[in-house]
Structure 1
Amino acid sequence: MATQPGSVDGNWERPTAFYNRTTKYVVYALITGFVLYSFWNIRVSPDRFLRGLGGGVTLVSNMLPPAATPMQFDLMVQGIVESILMSIIATTLGIVVSAPVAFMAANNLAPRPIYLVGRSIIAVTRSFHELIVAIVMVKAVGFGPLAGVLALAFKTVGFFAKLLSEEIEDIDTGQMDAIEAVGGSRMQVYLYSVLPQIIPRIIGLSIYRLDINLRHSTVVGIVGAGGIGITLLNSFQKYDYQYSSLIILVIVGIVMIGEAASAYARRRVQ
């Protein structure tokens, strides 16, 4: 009698997602072939890679040591402050807009038509990268921090509303039933049952999104949407690489400080 795989006294084989070994090897071969074709199609060659390494070394050597004139330093500080203010305003605006959207997108609270509208809003706001949204906003309202604020707020709605709606769907409905049983209105159910259960999550998500917007605010400026990004772009266009390296180091420092503060605040909330 043949020993079945997986039996105690037989040869055990790790469970696999493939029907058999032949299928597995065919899939692996197709994936490998697709990766190799992708490298060939975008013209990635070892020679080009090595030449790029040499150019990178030259660029880094030109960026050292970081330096800036007093006027450049003032411009950098203004850009950093503008990026921080943009992230704060965008986060606040995005949260205000996304809160009702989250309630609309919670299937345990909203009727089916409203639920579909809420989910559609979330899907649209999550479909585009910040830079794409920033380009559109620059075309709509012109260059400057307003375009950056609108772009970051737009993305905040998709992020915040999706996660908050999932939190609302996981709440304990027993509290809602108890308030309704004693004659509580719908608004009282939201105020005394739903909100107390989701407020810690709202605070945690707000801090996390502020950290994300702080990082992204340094990028959207590259397309003219305000912040330190436009200062960095101008420094590269003028081949002032030492100034560029100083801006990059300051951006990294600001992001690291924001990350540490965000992590500390989330731990305190939890």
Structure 2
Amino acid sequence: MQGETGNRAENAPLPLIEEAHRVAPQDARELSKLFFERLGTLEEGSAERTYARTTLIEMNLSLVHYVAGRFRNRGNGQLEDIVQVGTVGLIKAIDRFDASRGFEFVSFAVPCILGEIKRHFRDTSWAVHVPRRLQELRHRITASQERLSSVLGREPTVKELAADLEVSEEQALEAIMAANGYAAGSIDTPHGSCDDGETHKGGRSLADVMGAPDPAIETFEHLHALAPLLAGLGERERRIIEMRFGQELTQAEIGTALGLSQMHVSRLLSRTLAQLRRGLLTHG
């Protein structure tokens, strides 16, 4: 008798819900349970299954708007675009959700929606193309910087970041440099603002106040290209190069850290850079 009752419940038509997107969130939760129970019993491609799936999507769109609202002020794209991406996450959550496991759909769907939106920002928010591995490493470095800063009471060095993340110093430095591609601004942007937040009329642009090219940048580019030759340096020479160009310490600061005179550091640095230049010409 009970089996017959259960079969009749399974075979009963789903309630017809017009304007499912207007269903209150609390009602949507209860109705979603019913629709998910039936969704797994319906034949793939059938009209009833299509109706059940579509209604589940529309009833739970409030979850997408809730999550998307957290990104309202990110400044990357319109809110409508974020909602569209979040809806993709909702659809994936509906297709993957297993009601038999006893979990609430909301607790399963929100992380799926959030992950889809975060993936969208990660893939589209960079002003210049940066390899995915560097994008992902940048996020890890940001978290590591915050964690180490609280422990050390200062900004961590490249070496400390690399050790914390178990990557090479070169990889850590590459990710830090790649972070410059996260956002871009026009050099014609007005420079400075009034006390009330308004930009000075007739003021100088950012291009007007930009400094001259730094010769150290060219040196850094050479060092970056010389990664294999850097690996062949002695430990002290590699450390001096890392402290000078990675940590941006002065020669005096390097000498204090290594117990050397500034003059000695200067000679070692000049000799090492000359060796690297010769290596670059030889391999060129």
TM bucket, shorter chain? under 0.3
Query: TM-score, length-normalised on structure 2?
Result: 0.23
Q: Which has the higher contact order (CA 8 A, sep 6+)?
A: 1
Structure with a larger share of its residues in helix:
1
TM-score, length of structure 1 as denominator length: 0.24
| Rg (Cα) greater in structure | 2
